Amino acid sequence: MKDSISKRKAQLDFDIDAALFTVTELAQVSGISRSAIDMYLHRGVLIPTRRARTSSPTRKTKVRGWKTAQGRPMFSVIIIFKARLIWELGNTLGLGPSESSLASDEALHAEIPARELEKENVAEIAAGRNWIWACARSVERNQPIKIYAFAARSADRWLFDMHLGEKGAIPCFGLQVPHVYVPLSEIFIGVYSECKKILGVTGVQDFRTDKSGRATRSR
């Protein structure tokens, strides 16, 4: 019984990788206009987590020589967070969509150094998962962790130097390299909280998705 309770507490309110949100909800949470999102989808800057089945037969149309898949695009919290980060970097730093997308992809896959986990005593929260999952789990435990990064452009990619706690660390690439401070957990928690409101999640639930891609509560 005790093990069952512990396992339940370790779960998130819903799967942050699941395709639970529509393009309208993506626009609402990310702050990006619907027209811009349509353009990002066409260019591949944003890729749907999956496409939901529609009542009409699925078909493909050609747009300037390209085949465009039909079916309603559905998105996960992870993709909505990426979209929000694209908006934040573009709005704050003046980066274009392609450059912001490159930086956002690096942020999604960045890792927190082991020494940081030990220092902040949160290794158990983050064990076996990426920083985004760890951040979501910390919120559910009412012990939100603070994660930030120093980001710098290097050759053809962005570097994200991840840190836990209050700002004050020295970037791994040194102070002589131009860089920016990115409050990753603050941005993600804002997205996560808005997505929970959309789903009407108030506690630990067991969610599944129906054919339309909308979350349904199991009984």
**In the chain, where the domains are located:** 11-52+71-209
Mean pLDDT (whole number) for 53-66: 51
Mean pLDDT of all residues in the chain? 80
- When pLDDT is cut at 50, 70 and 90, the band that residue 65 belongs to is very low
pTM of the complete model: 0.79
Mean pLDDT (whole number) for 163-187: 89
Percent of the chain with pLDDT over 70: 73
What is the per-residue pLDDT across 3-28, written as a single tens digit (0 to 9) for each?
Answer: 433 333 445 667 899 999 999 999 99
CA-closest candidate to residue 76, choices 192, 217, 210, 216:
192
State the number of CA atoms in the 13 A half-sphere of 177 facing the CB: 18
What is the per-residue pLDDT across 91-131, written as a single tens digit (0 to 9) for each?
Answer: 999 999 999 999 999 999 998 887 777 766 666 555 556 88
Mean pLDDT (whole number) for 184-202: 92
Mean pLDDT (whole number) for 212-219: 36
